[in-house]
Amino acid sequence: MKPIIKTPEQIEKIRRAGIVNNQVLDAVDAVIRAGISTEDINRVVHEKTLELGGVPAPLNFEGFPKSVCTSLNDIVCHGIPSEDVILMDGDIINVDVTTIVDGYYADASRMYCIGQVSPEAKRLVDVTKECLELSLEAVRPGRYLHEIGAIIQAHAEKNGFSVVPDICGHGVGLDFHEEPLVFHVRRRGKGPKLEPGMIFTIEPMINAGGSDWFIDADDDWTVWTEDGSLSAQWEYTVLVTEEGYEILAR
Ligand code: MF3
Ligand code: CO
Ligand code: CO
């Protein structure tokens, strides 16, 4: 259950995976708009990843059928791209990209507002990013892992939103998901003390309504909000450095 401390050689490899992952998300930035399908996003991610010498980690991961997760509106995470899902004016969507380069992993996701979204949807997207950014303050040697979730939960609830408590960030780099679990809510105890060389994701999922969710019975992947309210998520891969942190993928 110990967080893995990466060697300088491993860190350099994961940094490279992060650069490719960022470039893949930049390619999504360039094409995403009303009228395209989530399968179009999948195609861009798949082709850009291969062009840059990477492998899309989601494809065939525990049976996941596509190269990226696309989570629209009231989907919390793990949405499956489809030719039938067309982005429309007013939608919010999370695109979650994980890339393997030379055997090493980086994982990040961004939110996109399609056309003119409601002020409430925009506020949810912005507050969720603020939660992630504010939590970085706790990422430095000598601080404790559970401070991250406390910061995220306080900021989300101050803004009238709820945090999905039971889907966590994770160690990443040598594998897709490693120790430690990174909670996005307050937890008992301090958690592990942060040390240079730890690499993990922070990826809060924040709902406009309640925090309950369920998994789609038909596809066994899609996580929906129980009450149909909007959900937003941002994800970075971060490295604990001597001075604080470095964002390896965003
Ligand atoms: N990228 C997700 C995460 O942040 C995991 C997706 S698993 C998949 O941990 F199979 F759905 F791709
Ligand atoms: Co992740
Ligand atoms: Co991810």
In terms of Cα–Cα distance, which of 225, 221, 233, 172 is closest to 61?
221
| Closest residue to atom 12 of ligand 1, CA basis | 58
Helices (H) and strands (E) in the chain, counts: 4, 15
Ligand 1: centre distance to CA 52 (Å): 20
Q: How far apart are CA 102 and CA 14, in angstroms?
A: 9
Q: What is the pLDDT of residue 4?
A: 87
Annotated binding site for substrate: 78, 177
pLDDT of residue 1: 58
Beta-bridge mates of residue 69:
96
| C-alpha 192 to ligand 2 mean position (Å) | 19
Is residue 200 within 8 Å of 175, Cβ to Cβ? no
Nearest ligand, CA 238: 2
Give the containing element (helix H, strand E) for 65: none
Which stretches in the chain have pLDDT values below 70? 1
Q: Tell me the best of 78, 97, 109, 201 to mutate to test the pocket of ligand 1, counting ligand atoms within 8 Å of each CB and taking the most.
A: 78
| Residue 193 CA, ligand 2 centroid: distance in Å | 21
The rounded distance, in Å, linking the Cα atoms of 69 and 81 is 7
Is residue 203 lining ligand 1, measured as CB closer than 6 Å? Answer: yes
Per-residue pLDDT at 162: 98
Q: In the chain, what is the straight-line distance between the N-terminal and C-terminal CA atoms, in Å? A: 26
**What span, in angstroms and rounded, lies between the C-alpha atoms of 139 and 247?**
11
Q: Which of 61, 170, 221 to mutate to test the pocket of ligand 1 (most atoms within 8 A of CB)?
A: 61
Look at residue 155 in the predicted model and tell me its pLDDT: 99
Q: What's the chain's Rg over C-alpha atoms?
A: 17
Q: For residue 70, which ligand has an atom nearest its CA?
A: 1
| Percent of the chain residues topping a pLDDT of 70 | 100
Q: Scanning the structure block, which residue is given the tokens 């994770």?
A: 170
